[in-house]
Chain A
Amino acid sequence: MVMPPSTGRQEAEAVAHSGPAERYDRVVRLAQAIFGAPIAALNLIGNDSQFTVASVGFPKGEMPAEDSVCQITVQQDQVLEVRDLRDDERFAAIPAVTGPPRVRFYAGVPVRGQSGQNIGALCILDLAPRTLGRQQREMLADLGALLEHELAVQEEMDLAGQVQQLMLPTSAPDIAGVEVAGRVQPAREAGGDYFDWFVVNDPDGAGKRLQVVLGDVMGKGLAASLIASEVRAVLRGHSRYTDVGDAVARTSTTTRHDLEANNRFSTLWVGRLDPITGALDYVDAGHGLAIIASQRGYRRLYQEYMPLGMPIEDTWNRASDVLAEDEVLVVVSDGVFDVLDDSFEEVEARLHAIQDPGLSCREIVDRIVAFAVSHAATDDVTALAVRRVARAGPDATSQEPAPATT
């Protein structure tokens, strides 16, 4: 029997594809041990498939929904118990009953998702017919509720990660003569790293500038991402009205309470580029990881200012450089620097990977992020690349949504 698509089935598909599900294994192992059954599993019922995302005694993976017992369980709101599957015409012909592992007994409790609809079931299976007592049925229901909670926490985290992804710029900035790309790979669902770009009018009235930002809030996960969102928004606001140095100083003042109250600090690297002349104003608030590279070599764009959120007052004033037409500005987070042993000698040794002038900014950030991830980066990993071009085409920008886990 194939069910029509429903919100619950869509949600089950999303959860099944959202990455590793180790957090559910514990409850499934508990169920298996409590009931002394050879098989216990958390099965999610998607559009056409059953996804076994956590299990003991049964392989994880995907199978047709019509061969599943749990697809019946999700259509009800209480425990489904079948003493002998061979005696039940709904199940007597399914492969797991007629062939290995030749299961006989089934008990499953439906598990609700965030949508309020059932998305799967926690089930136990035995190779001999049996029955559960009233207490055992209640216990199975309790374990199902425990899994519902785990699923809710995970979905909440995934949603937070999506919100953060959607705050990243995705379209080319409305300014001619520049190519820009950025990419974030958070260590968890959400994180303290972000990049940003937007067009501002130069406060001196001299025309449009592209402002690029890479920020890193201390720590990882949801808490760091909340602070990162605030710093991002405040800096965007202040940047409209003043130069980059002043914008960072005002951002520090505005966010000081929230950073201090949460014992967090944020590094920031902020650049403002005139694509016509290449004039680049920048502020480095304890970030230290911006370079201008070309085939001729590289130079660092750093200052001795502290991050935002330190217990002493600092000032932040802009410095200036010029981005030549054959150069690329690259800013990364410390997650990248860590896999380079926190050493600029290593940066220099790896520089050739991004020096080819034929590489697009997108290829450069993809290479950097892929390199960090393949070298087992444990932190959030972020890269931003900017270069001047004769004319910005429709493909001149990119921001690739990255999965929460790799």
Chain B
Amino acid sequence: MDFEEVDKGTHVVLAPEGKFNLVAAPPLKARIDDLVAAGKARLVVDLHEVDFIDSSGLGALIGGLKAARQQGGDLRIAAPGDQVRAVLKLTNLDRILAPYATVEEALHDW
């Protein structure tokens, strides 16, 4: 799976699409790690094009969140679809990865 990446200066928006699973998660996580290492620790993952996430996808988001916070930044998720919301809620991961309705809302205090 490819993902779009837009560097807005104050933050970077990453937009994976399709199935965010064992195949797609490692490249996105690797890119997040590289961005954080380069000092870009404010990240938004725009999920509106993701129609399926599994535990590997969740793992990449949690791992990215951890990396970003360790560098004083944050990782926020925006515009998840029904399946993504259902899985976040099921695992209670929405407690640390609260979904924002849009990318703009995710940026509210940056």
Could you tell me the distance between the alpha carbons of A286 and B97 in the complex, rounded to whole angstroms?
Answer: 13
Q: Could you mark each residue 113-132 of chain A with 1 if its beta carbon is under 8 Å from any beta carbon of chain B, else 0?
A: 00000000000000000000
Question: Is A265 located at the chain interface by the 8 A CB criterion?
Answer: yes
Query: Which residues in A have their C-beta under 8 angstroms from that of B59?
Result: 218-219, 263-265
Q: Could you mark each residue 287-301 of chain A with 1 if its beta carbon is under 8 Å from any beta carbon of chain B, else 0?
A: 111000000000000
B contact face: mostly helix, strand, loop, or mixed:
helix
6 A-B contact pairs sorted by A residue (CB < 8 Å) = A216-B55, A219-B22, A263-B62, A306-B96, A334-B54, A341-B83
Q: Judge whether A288 and B66 touch: CB under 8 Å.
A: no
Query: Which residues in B have their C-beta under 8 angstroms from that of A304?
Result: 92, 95
A306 partner, pick from B54, B56, B87, B93, beta carbons under 8 A: B93
Question: Is A342 located at the chain interface by the 8 A CB criterion?
Answer: yes
Could you tell me the distance between the alpha carbons of A219 and B96 in the complex, rounded to whole angstroms?
Answer: 20
Q: Judge whether A286 and B92 touch: CB under 8 Å.
A: yes
Could you tell me the distance between the alpha carbons of A264 and B96 in the complex, rounded to whole angstroms?
Answer: 16
Could you tell me the distance between the alpha carbons of A88 and B108 in the complex, rounded to whole angstroms?
Answer: 83
Q: Could you mark each residue 32-68 of chain B with 1 if its beta carbon is under 8 Å from any beta carbon of chain A, else 0?
A: 0000000000000000000010111011001101100
A224-275 residues at the B interface, CB under 8 angstroms: 263-265, 267
Q: Judge whether A218 and B56 touch: CB under 8 Å.
A: yes
Q: Could you mark each residue 330-368 of chain A with 1 if its beta carbon is under 8 Å from any beta carbon of chain B, else 0?
A: 000010011001110000000000000000000000000
Question: Is B6 located at the chain interface by the 8 A CB criterion?
Answer: no
A342 partner, pick from B21, B66, B87, B92, beta carbons under 8 A: B87
Question: Is A307 located at the chain interface by the 8 A CB criterion?
Answer: yes
Q: How far is the CB of B16 from chain A (nearest CB, A)?
A: 17
* Number of A residues, CB within 8 Å of B: 28
Could you tell me the distance between the alpha carbons of A167 and B86 in the complex, rounded to whole angstroms?
Answer: 32
Q: Judge whether B69 and A311 touch: CB under 8 Å.
A: yes
A80-124 residues at the B interface, CB under 8 angstroms: none
B79-104 residues at the A interface, CB under 8 angstroms: 83, 86-87, 90-93, 95-96
B90 partner, pick from A218, A337, A378, A379, beta carbons under 8 A: A337
A contact face: mostly helix, strand, loop, or mixed:
loop
Query: Which residues in A have their C-beta under 8 angstroms from that of B69?
Result: 311
Q: Judge whether B22 and A220 touch: CB under 8 Å.
A: yes
Q: Judge whether B54 and A342 touch: CB under 8 Å.
A: no
Question: Contacts A304-B92, A341-B83 known; A219 to B66 CB distance under 8 Å?
Answer: no
Question: Is A198 located at the chain interface by the 8 A CB criterion?
Answer: no
Query: Which residues in A have their C-beta under 8 angstroms from that of B93?
Result: 286, 306-307, 310
Could you tell me the distance between the alpha carbons of A343 and B90 in the complex, rounded to whole angstroms?
Answer: 10
Question: Contacts A267-B91, A288-B90, A307-B91 known; A338 to B96 CB distance under 8 Å?
Answer: no
Query: Which residues in B have their C-beta under 8 angstroms from that of A267?
Result: 91
Question: Is A305 located at the chain interface by the 8 A CB criterion?
Answer: yes
Which residue in chain A gives the minimum CB-CB distance to B90?
A288
Could you tell me the distance between the alpha carbons of A307 and B91 in the complex, rounded to whole angstroms?
Answer: 7
Question: Contacts A311-B96, A334-B90, A342-B90 known; A265 to B62 CB distance under 8 Å?
Answer: yes
Could you tell me the distance between the alpha carbons of A227 and B56 in the complex, rounded to whole angstroms?
Answer: 14
Q: How far is the CB of A376 from chain B (nearest CB, A)?
A: 13
Question: Is A166 located at the chain interface by the 8 A CB criterion?
Answer: no
Query: Which residues in A have their C-beta under 8 angstroms from that of B66?
Result: 263, 311
Q: Could you mark each residue 12-24 of chain B with 1 if its beta carbon is under 8 Å from any beta carbon of chain A, else 0?
A: 0000000001100
Nearest 9 A/B pairs, CB to CB: A288-B90, A218-B55, A286-B91, A342-B86, A218-B59, A311-B66, A263-B63, A286-B92, A306-B92
A305 partner, pick from B21, B86, B92, beta carbons under 8 A: B92
Which residue in chain B gives the minimum CB-CB distance to A343?
B86
Which residue in chain B gives the minimum CB-CB distance to A219?
B56
Q: Judge whether B92 and A338 touch: CB under 8 Å.
A: no
Query: Which residues in A have their C-beta under 8 angstroms from that of B63?
Result: 263
Q: Judge whether B87 and A334 touch: CB under 8 Å.
A: yes
Query: Which residues in B have their C-beta under 8 angstroms from that of A337?
Result: 90
